[in-house]
Structure formats: C-alpha cells, structure tokens
Amino acid sequence: MLEYLKKALKITNENFIIVLPFVLFYILLNLYLGYTKYMLDTVLEALIAMLTITFMFAVFLAGWNYMVKKALELSQKVFVFDEEAVKAHLGLIKTFPTGVGKYFLSFVGVVVIFVVLLILISQIIFYFGINFIGKVDFTLDQITALTSSTKGLLEFVENLPPEQYVILAKWNLLLMTASFVFSYLLMFWMPEIVYRTKNPLMALFKGIAKLFRKPLKSLGLFLLITFINFVLSFVMTFTLLLPILYFLFAAVYLYYIVYVIVLIFSYYENEFIKDAEEE
C-alpha cells in the first residue's frame, strides 16, 4: 500500500496541471449556483438549471477523469530532457476535450444514477431512523441557530435533553455509516468507466464486483483515505476563525482530493488492468 501512496504522490506532483480543471469547475459551479439562486421563478427555469448543472458535472467528470488516466500513462514514460517532460505534463490539459468527447454521455448517466441512488438511500435511511431510532424535535428557532454558525450548533447540542442527545448521536452514527458504505461501493465506478465499461449502470455493478475480488486490500485503501480525510476535516475546523490560514488549508484539502483520485486510479490500474493483462 505504501508503494501506491508514494506513486500517487509523485504522479500528482509531476502532473499538477490536473488540478486546474478541478479549480475552474469549482469556481464556475459556485458562480452558476449563486446566479440561479435568485433567478428560479418558474418550474421551467428550475428544470433548465438542473439540466445545466448535470451537463456541467458530466463535462468536468468526463474530461478530468480521462486526464487522470493519461497522467498515469505519462508517468510510465522516460524523458531524456527535462524540457520534454515539462511539455508533456503541461500538454495533459489538451486531453480534456478528448475525454469529454469519449465519455460525456457516460457521465451524464453517472450524474443521473447518482442522484437517483442518493434519493433512494436517503428515503431508506429516513425510514429506518424514524422507526428504529426516533426523531429529535426541532423548533424553527433551533433550526435557524443550528444552520447559522458553529456557535449555534454548539448551543443547540448543549441545550438538548439527555434522551434527545442520545437519539441525535444515533442518527449521526447512522448517517456516517451509510455515507461510508455508499462511498466505498462507488470507489471504482469512475475508473471502471474510463478503463473498461462506458455503460454507467454496468460500470457501477462491475466496479462493486471488483471491490470483492480483493476485499481486504480495497477496504484497507478506503479506510486509509477516510482516516486522512477525517484528520484534515477535523484540523480544518480550527482554521475557520483565521481566513488566511483557512484559505491555505483549503488549498491543501483541494490538493488532497486530487491526490485521492490519482491514488484510486493508480490502484485500479495496477490491481485490475495490469494484472488482467499479465494473466
């Protein structure tokens, strides 16, 4: 596993250009969401906004995941001169439109399937939670305080009766467990599309099947990713009151997200593509 971590770090650092589409997409998405927030007056406008966001995600995911795949291919090449290497790494940005052309429809399907799964799983969690855990009684003032600031959240938790606190803790555990399982099952979905199966629904099932071909190794990788993400998120909460420090740590977290994608693709390629070719 250490070999994969080191290899992914090397590839991410050498091909730092793959961060650019991620940053641009994040900025454009937030600008569009900010624009539509005050412009959705009719059902038609809401539908247009949903379609636009779906296509934005599909374009980004298609082009960016293909860039990651090409970055892995590039890491296997040997360059005589540093100038050639730099030119090749920067040239990865040119592969983005190719990826969009190849996988756009596949990732439109990914977005649609993901939303449907999210809705279904949310309904199952809600049903299970209400029937087997119970509900926390929220007043309108509490909801406002809960969502307004960290201070409001702390005050809300402190004022909860003991029995309500236990229920809230169980809900939190349920949501964390469901999120963990859901994310784990989807870990190889996008690599499967880019490497093997363009059909998004078939790729979903095949990606899940690959998890169980090497369950301990795949679970170990996901647990490591989850642990590091938890540590970074925990540390990041202490930077909220210091804007400059928060901005710097947000950049680190952004780099980590890109690194994780490279790590998952690298693992998938070595464990399921190269091994299959050797067999």
Determine the 3-state secondary structure of 79 from DSSP. Answer: coil
| Cα(9)–Cα(256) distance, integer angstroms | 10
Determine which helix (DSSP H) or strand (DSSP E) holds 48, and give its type and residue range. helix 43-74
Mean residue pLDDT across the chain: 85
Q: Is the pLDDT higher at 233 or at 148?
A: 233
Q: What is the mean pLDDT of residues 31-40?
A: 82
| Mean pLDDT for the stretch of residues 225-230 | 91
Rounded to whole angstroms, how far apart are CA atoms 172 and 166? Answer: 10
* Token pair listed for 265: 């693709």
The pLDDT of residue 279: 46
Average pLDDT on 141-163 reads 60
CA distance 142 to 155: 9
Hey, how many other C-beta atoms are within 10 angstroms of the C-beta on 135?
12
Residues in contact with 123: Cβ distance below 8 Å, sequence separation at least 6, in sequence order: none
- Residue scoring higher pLDDT (279 or 49): 49
So what's the pLDDT on residue 163? 75
Please state, in angstroms and rounded to a whole number, the distance separating the CA atoms of residues 122 and 111.
Answer: 16
Chain centre distance of CA 17: 19
> What does the pLDDT average to over 154-180?
78
Give residue 70's pLDDT: 93
Tell me, what's the pLDDT at 239? 75
| Amino acid 87: pLDDT | 83
What per-residue string of b and e applies to 253-264 under the rule 16 or more CB within 10 Å gives b?
eeebebbbbbbb
Say if residue 33's pLDDT is above 70: yes
DSSP structure string for 71-134 = HHHHTT---SSHHHHHHHHHGGGGHHHHHHHHHHHHHHHHHHHHHHHHHHHHHHHHHHHHHHT-
Structure tokens that stand for 203 in this block = 């790729």
Mind listing the pLDDT tens digit for each residue in 46-101? 888 899 999 999 999 999 999 999 999 888 877 767 777 888 888 889 999 999 99
Spatial separation of the C-alpha atoms in residues 203 and 190, rounded to whole Å: 8
C-alpha span between 100 and 158 (Å, rounded)? 49
Q: For residue 79, what are its two tokens?
A: 């360059």
Angle, helix 19-36 to helix 243-268, in steps of 10 degrees: 120
Condensed to tens digits (0 to 9), the pLDDT of residues 100-134 reads: 999 999 999 999 999 999 999 999 999 988 888 87
The answer, yes or no, to whether residue 278 has pLDDT greater than 50, is no
Residue ranges covered by each domain of the chain: 2-132+186-278
Tokens of 221: 């990788």
Listed residue (233, 264, 275) closest to 1, CA to CA: 264
Q: What's the mean pLDDT in 190-204?
A: 95
Neighbours of 247 (CB within 10 A): 10
Name the strand (E) or helix (H) holding 175.
helix 162-185
The gap from C-alpha 135 to its chain's centroid, in whole angstroms, comes to 29
Question: In this model, does residue 144 exceed pLDDT 90?
Answer: no
Average pLDDT over residues 159-175: 79
For residues 217 and 143, the model is more confident at 217
